[in-house]
Amino acid sequence: MTINIKNILVIIKGGVWEMLKSQRGSVLIETALSCLILVVVLMSCMEIFSIITNTLSVNKIVRESTRSAAIASMQMEYQGRAKESLVEIAENKCKSMTNMYLPGKPVNIHCETSAGGITCQAMLSYQYLEFIRKDGIGGKSIYATATYPLKD
């Protein structure tokens, strides 16, 4: 029997083809599982980004509205007006910023004046995976508090 290069290529080609043919199903299963894992990781990253964004937004809303009320207090004192509407100023600013940064989200706002300062608190009821289901799956509360002095 003579060994010919052509015969060796035919044997190798046939063996490789049979091997690929038998592994076709396992490659499909591995690809499907890899894609599933990739989708879960991607959705987790999106959810973490959303939580961080909402936390920063709630903090910014509370901080800016309390700051606006403190500045309004200084302006009212300079003009000789009463400071009775500071809580309303802070709550209105909170509501307008909530509509701007977190439209349609349930944010509870509470502002009050205390000894020499104004304090605003906000709580956002955050629902996990809200982009998949309208009511989400589980959730958590995001709190923020800010206090500014009314006088220097």
Q: Which domain holds residue 130?
A: 5-149
| The token pair that represents 116 in the structure block | 């020499």
Handedness of CA 72, 75, 77, 83 (dihedral sign): negative
- In angstroms, rounded to a whole number, what is the distance separating the alpha carbons of residues 135 and 133? 6
- Predicted confidence at residue 27, as pLDDT, reads 76
The one-letter amino acid at 26: S
Model confidence band, residue 6 (pLDDT cutoffs 50, 70, 90): low
The number of distinct structural domains making up the chain is 1
pTM for this predicted structure: 0.71
Chain center to CA of 96: 20
Q: Which of 19-23, 25-29, 32-36, 46-50 has the lowest mean pLDDT?
A: 19-23
Q: 21 pLDDT exceeds 70?
A: no
